Amino acid sequence: MKSLKENFQKSHIIIIGSGVIGKFNALELSELGFQITIIDPNQNKNSSNAALGLLMGNMYQKRKGRSWSLRKQSIELWPKWIEFLREYNQELNIEKPLIQLTTNEEKFKKLEKFIHETNDINLRILDQNSIFIKNTNKAFQTKDMKGMVSSNDGRINTTSLLKTLDTYLKNKKVKFIEDKIIKIRKSNNQWIATSKNNQEIKSEIIILCNSLDAIDLIDNLSHNIKLKPVLGQAIEIGVNDSEVDLLSLPKQLNIDGKNIIPISKEKLIIGSTDEYSTKPENDVFDKLTNFLDTKPNWLMKGQILKKWFGIRSRPDGEPSPIMKNLENGLFICTGFYKNGILLAPACSRWVAKEVEKYFS
Ligand SMILES: Cc1cc2nc3c(=O)[nH]c(=O)nc-3n(C[C@H](O)[C@H](O)[C@H](O)COP(=O)(O)OP(=O)(O)OC[C@H]3O[C@@H](n4cnc5c(N)ncnc54)[C@H](O)[C@@H]3O)c2cc1C
């Protein structure tokens, strides 16, 4: 009788979609010995490439249920994957800690209650004299910032992560086809994916990691999965002002829902908007800087140096994300909405377990 590993080595898996979810699944399944083909017509223009890379796991204010358990799993898995991927990129790193601030007294009270009840040594309310609060108040010319520090949350540079995954996948000889899949079907115990350019690719398993478009490929009447597009926009602002040194701010922080990443003394990134839309909006600067009642001069005069957006998929009628075994050998991983980067390791672990079950 053949061993499981021998079976895996002969088995071919198609992954449709090469965002962070598709690539992470390919990574974990390759390590198990499967032959993988990733298919995507546009791998550089997706939500994953737009993401800011914040890993907000521990600071999630709900400590039970599926969403928390996926976050918890990802928090545990991330350091292991970073260590593994460092063989392909020594610089890959999670920059910690993550600071969450608010100027709203009610929100702060909620934070205090959460920290008190959670009793997690990795979360702490920031003292008003802490360097993080002092410097943020100084830079934004306010007195009202309050918040917490999460020493186990942080940020991964998404561009660097995706490039590293590409290097790994190339090294592992994972096949990449630049094409769009327009149809999938099962015939004689095999899955067949048909591409726009009329290629037919056969496999034992298909994993749908193509975000919003996944529903176009499945029989929606029997699976009844609904997804909504949610626009996420981010901007890089340049400041020409000696009034502020942006590097005095924490390395990554969230103020009242806006993520801020200083990248030099004069530049910072702010993201992201959250609209049920697919078209970028022109008033993005106002939307992304509305966390302050009064903006400091340097920010008023700030120039948008770059702006970008991504369309995230959000499940409609069920919680995010959708990870399901749809039918024999067909899996779906979509609807990651705001947390696809954070949850990629938990997703690939789930997929690996399901695929192992399928072959055992
Ligand atoms: C501005 C912004 C900031 C964000 N910040 C964060 C953050 O800080 N932390 C975090 O965890 N998350 C963040 N996110 C969310 C995160 O980016 C998403 O949750 C994640 O990228 C989803 O990954 P994905 O692989 O499911 O989808 P995508 O990255 O969108 O990839 C889907 C891929 O499927 C391909 N595809 C579609 N149809 C087909 C088809 N028929 N055939 C073949 N391929 C197909 C597409 O070309 C695409 O490449 C942010 C998102 C945005 C927009």
Q: What is the pLDDT of residues 154-180, one digit of tens each?
A: 999 999 999 999 999 999 999 999 999
- Whole-number Å distance, alpha carbon 53 to ligand 1 midpoint, is 12
State the average pLDDT over residues 275-302.
Answer: 90
pLDDT the model gives residue 32: 95
Both 257 and 299 in a single domain? yes
**Position 221 confidence tier, pLDDT thresholds 50, 70, 90:** low
State how far the Cα of 337 lies from the Cα of 56, in Å rounded to an integer: 13
pLDDT the model gives residue 67: 97
Both 137 and 235 in a single domain? yes
**Position 282 confidence tier, pLDDT thresholds 50, 70, 90:** confident
Atom of ligand 1 nearest to the CA of 340: 19
State the average pLDDT over residues 301-307.
Answer: 96
Identity of residue 269: I
Which domain range does residue 282 map to? 97-151+228-315
The answer to the question of residue 26 being in a domain is: yes
pTM over 0.75: yes
Phi/psi for 318 (5° steps) reads: -155, 160
pLDDT the model gives residue 278: 86
The answer to the question of residue 89 being in a domain is: no
- Whole-number Å distance, alpha carbon 60 to ligand 1 midpoint, is 21
pLDDT the model gives residue 94: 98
Atom of ligand 1 nearest to the CA of 273: 1
State how far the Cα of 245 lies from the Cα of 241, in Å rounded to an integer: 9
Both 321 and 309 in a single domain? no
- Whole-number Å distance, alpha carbon 347 to ligand 1 midpoint, is 14
State the average pLDDT over residues 219-240.
Answer: 91
pLDDT the model gives residue 167: 98
Both 219 and 325 in a single domain? yes
Atom of ligand 1 nearest to the CA of 44: 49
Atom of ligand 1 nearest to the CA of 342: 11
The answer to the question of residue 108 being in a domain is: yes
Both 64 and 187 in a single domain? yes
Both 251 and 352 in a single domain? no
Contacts of 140 (CB under 8 A, 6+ apart): 255, 292, 296, 299
State the average pLDDT over residues 187-195.
Answer: 95
Whether the CB-CB separation of 273 and 281 falls below 8 Å is answered with yes
The answer to the question of residue 91 being in a domain is: no
Least confident range of 143-152, 220-229, 283-292: 220-229
pLDDT the model gives residue 79: 97
Contacts of 98 (CB under 8 A, 6+ apart): 54, 55, 56, 59, 149, 150, 153, 154, 155, 252, 253, 254
Atom of ligand 1 nearest to the CA of 311: 53
Both 220 and 235 in a single domain? no
Q: Whose CA is nearest to atom 6 of ligand 1?
A: 51
Both 327 and 309 in a single domain? no
Report the mean per-residue pLDDT for the chain.
95
- Whole-number Å distance, alpha carbon 20 to ligand 1 midpoint, is 7
pLDDT the model gives residue 10: 76
Residues flanking ligand 1, CB < 6 Å: 16-22, 39-43, 46-48, 50-54, 180-181, 209-211, 213, 232-234, 271-272, 310, 312, 334, 336-342
The answer to the question of residue 209 being in a domain is: yes
Predicted confidence (pLDDT) at residue 4 exceeds the cutoff of 90: no
Both 201 and 239 in a single domain? no
State the average pLDDT over residues 20-46.
Answer: 97
State the average pLDDT over residues 76-90.
Answer: 98
The answer to the question of residue 55 being in a domain is: yes
State the average pLDDT over residues 288-314.
Answer: 94
**Percentage above 70 pLDDT, the chain:** 98
> Which CATH number does the domain housing residue 26 bear?
3.50.50.60
Atom of ligand 1 nearest to the CA of 272: 1
Predicted confidence (pLDDT) at residue 149 exceeds the cutoff of 80: yes
Structure tokens at 24: 């992470």
pLDDT the model gives residue 3: 60
Between these two residues, 267 and 243, which has the higher pLDDT value? 267
**Position 2 confidence tier, pLDDT thresholds 50, 70, 90:** low
The answer to the question of residue 11 being in a domain is: yes
> Which CATH number does the domain housing residue 141 bear?
3.30.9.10
State how far the Cα of 73 lies from the Cα of 28, in Å rounded to an integer: 15
Least confident range of 125-139, 287-301, 309-323: 287-301
- Whole-number Å distance, alpha carbon 286 to ligand 1 midpoint, is 25
**Percentage above 90 pLDDT, the chain:** 89
Both 16 and 75 in a single domain? yes
- Whole-number Å distance, alpha carbon 313 to ligand 1 midpoint, is 8
Atom of ligand 1 nearest to the CA of 43: 49
State how far the Cα of 144 lies from the Cα of 128, in Å rounded to an integer: 9
Q: pLDDT of 324-346, one tens digit each?
A: 999 999 999 999 999 999 999 99
State how far the Cα of 235 lies from the Cα of 112, in Å rounded to an integer: 31
Both 164 and 216 in a single domain? yes
pLDDT the model gives residue 6: 65
Atom of ligand 1 nearest to the CA of 338: 15
pLDDT the model gives residue 289: 94
Both 325 and 184 in a single domain? yes
pLDDT the model gives residue 46: 97
- Whole-number Å distance, alpha carbon 312 to ligand 1 midpoint, is 6
Q: Whose CA is nearest to atom 3 of ligand 1?
A: 51
- Whole-number Å distance, alpha carbon 42 to ligand 1 midpoint, is 11
Substitution candidate for ligand 1 out of 48, 206, 276 with most atoms within 8 A of CB: 48
The answer to the question of residue 90 being in a domain is: no
Question: What domain count does the chain have?
Answer: 2
Predicted confidence (pLDDT) at residue 36 exceeds the cutoff of 80: yes
Q: Whose CA is nearest to atom 12 of ligand 1?
A: 339
- Whole-number Å distance, alpha carbon 46 to ligand 1 midpoint, is 5
- Whole-number Å distance, alpha carbon 348 to ligand 1 midpoint, is 15
